């Protein structure tokens, strides 16, 4: 995606920028990321038919930037429902600014449109503050040559008045979170004025759209939208319905037996699992250790994982991937920011929490769609779930085939056994030779 600010005074220069953007989209098919992605699919490049869509951006000029009040993704099926919601009630993820923050797995607000006053809970006030949005994405309006969003500090949004209907205030003295921005304190993006006080009918709109779209496609769907509240007086708010796609769901009818011979034979157990079935031909494991990983150097960890993936791809070997934080997040402080093609050989992925911070399970749009589309098993190991664990001590005791600063490549003579119960959403991974 390329974005144009159209801030040139001369229309010929604007046209020149548009032509350059269209050429750049076509040229992107020759990138290594696109080629690696295509290689993982059954499609052939010479049979691919491609179009470029030109769409008007939803938003307003605020200071030196252009961005909507907020943007988000609505999914009519929720893979990780929390009471009182059910999977079929769907889930909506929203964030201040452009939708890149939501689509690529950044911190955002998630809620069920049927129960908007019950956003996804945090274990504590500290987790809520740590998990809050700290920056947003916007298009520079003072740089007509720029075709990409840039990240902007949250303080700029407050100067523009964009936080008025989206934020709450943390009072450090009372250790309490208050709706709105009328008090002094730290701003926290909670969408409380909208979700709790109905300043904008976001829950009703997304719920109705998901219902209509799901009926029209006869299938669960995912849609992207953007909302601009800051419009000319008397013109009302603008809800931009941007795009929609069918949501790929795996078969969840297989009731796999998850029994293990002994507790010591279990490498990983999770009560939040995507996928169904049994995988018993994986002898390679790529691990990013919870004790060795440094969040400040997550880009280096991602590069190591990509190198291991390339080595195993060259040998035509699939593997089990285990790491901490959120896989595929663009925010390097939330996890390991790998691109999909950099872990394309993984048949199953384990996402474990940090030692000091709980990260909510991945539901970032593009990365998450790839997981489901390619039928990759996905284990979320959260500290707040009884029995969920990864045997890190056993992994550390194994002699690696290759070793990096943060990651290790392990190879075993016997395969690890991966079992996923699609009915119960649970799974276990057994150590080699346990069956």
**pLDDT tens column, 193-250:** 999 988 899 999 999 999 999 999 998 999 999 999 986 666 789 999 999 988 876 5
Render pLDDT for 144-155 as a digit per residue (tens, 0 to 9).
888 889 999 999
Structure tokens that stand for 47 in this block: 């049979």
| Range with lowest mean pLDDT among 61-70, 326-335, 411-420 | 326-335
84: preceding bond cis by omega (within 30 degrees) = yes
> Is 156 a residue whose pLDDT tops 90?
yes
> Is 398 a residue whose pLDDT tops 80?
yes
Q: With pLDDT > 90 as the criterion, what percentage of the chain qualifies?
A: 48
Which of 37-41, 326-330, 414-418 holds the top average pLDDT? 414-418
Please give the DSSP secondary-structure letter assigned to residue 40.
T
Higher pLDDT, 29 or 39: 29
pLDDT of residue 45: 73
**DSSP letters of 159-185?**
HHTTTTTTEEEEETTTTEEEESSSSSS
Structure tokens that stand for 81 in this block: 């429902």
The residues, ordered by sequence, that sit 6+ positions from 252 with a Cβ below 8 Å of its Cβ are 276, 422, 423
> Is 49 a residue whose pLDDT tops 90?
no
Overall pTM surpassing 0.85 (yes/no): no
What's the angle, vertex CA 166, arms to CA 165 and CA 172, rounded to 5? 110
pLDDT of residue 288: 93
The predicted model gives 265-270 an average pLDDT of: 93
Task: Quote the mean pLDDT of the chain.
Answer: 86
The predicted model gives 349-376 an average pLDDT of: 69
pLDDT of residue 341: 82
The predicted model gives 385-402 an average pLDDT of: 89
Rounded CA separation 412/407 (Å): 17
> Is 366 a residue whose pLDDT tops 80?
no
The predicted model gives 298-309 an average pLDDT of: 92
pLDDT of residue 386: 64
């Amino acid at each position: 995606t390329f974005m144009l600010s159209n801030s040139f005074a001369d229309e010929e220069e604007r046209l020149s920028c548009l032509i350059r953007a269209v050429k750049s989209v076509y040229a992107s098919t020759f990138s290594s990321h696109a080629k690696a992605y295509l290689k993982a699919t059954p499609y052939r490049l010479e049979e691919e038919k491609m179009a470029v869509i030109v769409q008007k951006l939803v938003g307003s000029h605020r200071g030196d930037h252009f961005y909507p009040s907020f943007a988000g993704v609505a999914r009519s099926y929720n893979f990780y429902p929390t009471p009182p919601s059910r999977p079929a009630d769907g889930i909506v993820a929203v964030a201040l600014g452009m939708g890149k923050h939501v689509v690529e797995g950044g911190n955002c607000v998630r809620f069920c449109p049927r129960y908007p006053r019950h956003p996804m809970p945090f274990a504590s006030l500290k987790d809520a503050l740590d998990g809050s949005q700290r920056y947003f994405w916007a298009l520079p309006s003072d740089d007509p040559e720029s075709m990409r969003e840039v990240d902007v500090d949250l303080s700029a949004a407050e100067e523009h008045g964009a936080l008025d209907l989206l934020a709450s205030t943390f009072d450090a003295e009372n250790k309490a979170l208050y709706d709105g921005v009328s008090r002094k304190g730290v701003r926290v993006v909670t969408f409380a004025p909208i979700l709790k006080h109905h300043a904008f009918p976001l829950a009703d709109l997304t719920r109705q759209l998901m219902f209509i779209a799901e009926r029209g496609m006869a299938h669960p769907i995912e849609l992207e939208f953007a909302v601009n509240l800051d419009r000319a007086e008397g013109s009302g708010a603008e809800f931009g319905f941007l795009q929609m796609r069918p949501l790929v769901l795996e078969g969840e009818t297989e009731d796999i037996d998850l029994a293990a011979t002994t507790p010591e034979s279990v490498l990983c157990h999770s009560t939040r699992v995507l996928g169904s079935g049994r995988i018993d031909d994986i002898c390679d494991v790529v691990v990013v250790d919870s004790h060795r990983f440094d969040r400040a150097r997550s880009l280096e960890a991602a590069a190591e994982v990509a190198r291991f993936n390339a080595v195993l791809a060259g040998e035509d070997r699939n593997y089990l991937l285990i790491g901490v934080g959120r896989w595929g997040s663009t925010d390097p402080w939330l996890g390991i920011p790998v691109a999909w093609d950099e872990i394309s050989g993984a048949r199953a992925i384990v996402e474990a929490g940090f030692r000091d911070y709980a990260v909510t399970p991945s539901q970032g749009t593009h990365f998450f769609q790839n997981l489901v589309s390619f039928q990759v098993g996905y284990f979320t190991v959260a500290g707040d779930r009884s029995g969920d664990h990864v045997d890190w001590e056993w992994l550390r005791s194994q002699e690696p085939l290759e070793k990096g600063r943060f990651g290790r490549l392990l190879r075993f003579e016997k395969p690890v056994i991966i079992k996923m119960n699609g009915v119960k959403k649970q799974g276990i991974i057994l150590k080699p030779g346990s069956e």
